[in-house]
């Protein structure tokens, strides 16, 4: 492992953690469901992806599983956000 | 051609899941990829590839939007309708919904069929200075 890879991975994981807190904090506030979903997309999809990228730098031998987790997270978190947003609409607003 | 793309994607997932690049594993993965049921219906390779490129390009765009949203003092909400690229291929519509919903500014609320292809109902959250709300 290159000497600069470790700090880089820590930066990526910390940035992901920051996105997690920024995105999940509004869940405790009186915001609309859609605003919460916008913010959650930052937290659970983009933040988690940064963390996985950071872990990839630390454990390069596990890259197939980490890449699979990355594809799964990006795809299903995003589509789950769409399903939740779509389900929150009343029949008239649909 | 769409069939081949679908099989290659399945084979990629098989490789990632097993982590084994031996010839025997390639053969088993290829057999599984071919034997799994394929979706019947419309397939338009060009619109599928365009949607795939758009979905991949949305990833760096999503990070740029996330940082803009994180640094913004306030946000404004907006509801809008956006026509699709005109595709009627299910996989391409899936990828277009993915690309729009992945970016933190926009969220697809629903897809409605139209004469020129589907239309997306979108909720938009954009960063603002916060001064607009204080104006009478």
Residues B20, B66, single domain; the answer is no
Q: Which of A31-35, A50-54, B42-46, B68-72 has the lowest mean pLDDT?
A: B42-46
Q: Which residues of A touch B97 (CB under 8 A)?
A: 79, 82
Give how far B1 is from chain A: nearest CA, Å.
Answer: 23
pLDDT-derived band of residue B19, with 50, 70 and 90 as boundaries? confident
Instruction: Flag if B110 and A74 touch (Cβ within 8 Å).
Output: no
Please report the pLDDT score of residue A84 as a whole number.
93
Q: Cβ(B87)–Cβ(B51) under 8 Å?
A: yes
Q: Domain count for chain B, please give it.
A: 2
Does pLDDT of A44 surpass 60?
Answer: yes
Q: Report the complex ipTM.
A: 0.88
Portion 62-121 of B in contact with A at CB < 8 A: 62-63, 66, 69-70, 75, 77, 94, 97-98, 101-102, 104-105, 107-110, 121
Query: What angle, rounded to 10 degrees, do the helices at A5-24 and A33-40 form?
Result: 180
Confidence of residue B134 (pLDDT cuts 50, 70, 90): low
Q: Are residues B9 and B74 in the same domain?
A: no
Which tens digit of pLDDT belongs to each residue from B51-99?
A: 899 999 999 999 999 999 999 888 889 999 998 887 778 888 999 999 9
Query: Sign of the C-alpha dihedral, residues A26, A28, A31, A33?
Result: positive
B52 and B20 in one domain?
no
Quote the CA–CA distance of B88 and B93 in Å, as a whole number: 7
* B24 and B68 together in one domain: no
Average pLDDT over residues A59-69: 92
B64 and B7 in one domain? no
Mean pLDDT in chain B?
86
pLDDT on residue A94: 53
Q: Are B34 and B85 within one domain?
A: no
pLDDT bucket at B42, cuts 50 / 70 / 90: low
What is the pLDDT at residue A92? Answer: 56
pLDDT of residue A93: 55
From the list B17, B101, B125, which residue is nearest A78 (CB)? B101
Contacts of A67 in chain B (CB under 8 A): 16
Residues B31 and B83 in one domain: no
Does B112 lie in the same domain as B58? yes
Q: Both tokens of residue B95?
A: 């990828």
Tell me if residue A38 falls in helix, strand or coil: helix
In terms of domains, do B33 and B9 share one? yes
The closest CB to that of B16, out of A68, A85, A86, belongs to A68
Q: Span A29-37, mean pLDDT?
A: 89
Q: Identify the pLDDT of residue A9.
A: 94
Q: How far apart, in Å, are the Cα atoms of A28 and each of A16, A38, B78? A: 20, 15, 23
Domain that holds residue B66: 44-134
Residues B59 and B11 in one domain: no
- Taking only the tens place, the pLDDT of each residue in B104-123 is 999 999 998 877 788 999 99
Which pLDDT score is estimated for B136? 46
Listed range (A23-27, A48-52, B44-48) with the worst mean pLDDT: B44-48
């Amino acid at each position: 492992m290159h000497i600069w890879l470790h700090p880089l991975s820590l930066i990526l994981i910390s940035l992901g953690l920051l996105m997690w807190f920024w995105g999940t904090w509004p869940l405790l506030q009186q915001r609309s469901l859609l605003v919460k979903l916008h913010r959650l997309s930052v937290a659970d999809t983009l933040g988690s992806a940064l963390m996985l990228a950071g872990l990839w730098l630390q454990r390069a031998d596990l890259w197939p599983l980490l890449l699979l987790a990355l594809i799964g997270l990006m795809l299903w978190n995003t589509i789950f956000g769409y399903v939740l947003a779509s389900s929150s609409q009343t029949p008239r607003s649909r | 051609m769409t069939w081949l793309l679908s099989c290659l994607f399945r084979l990629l997932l098989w490789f990632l899941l097993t982590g084994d690049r031996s010839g025997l594993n390639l053969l088993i993965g290829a057999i599984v990829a071919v034997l799994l049921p394929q979706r019947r219906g419309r397939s338009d390779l060009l619109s599928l590839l365009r949607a795939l490129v758009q979905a991949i390009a949305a990833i760096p765009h999503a990070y740029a939007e996330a940082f803009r949203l994180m640094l913004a003092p306030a946000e404004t909400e907006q509801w809008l309708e956006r026509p699709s690229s005109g595709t009627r291929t299910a996989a391409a519509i899936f990828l277009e919904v993915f690309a729009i919903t992945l970016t933190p500014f926009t969220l697809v609320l629903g897809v409605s069929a139209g004469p020129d292809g589907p239309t997306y109902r979108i909720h938009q959250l954009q960063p603002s200075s916060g001064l607009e709300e204080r104006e009478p």
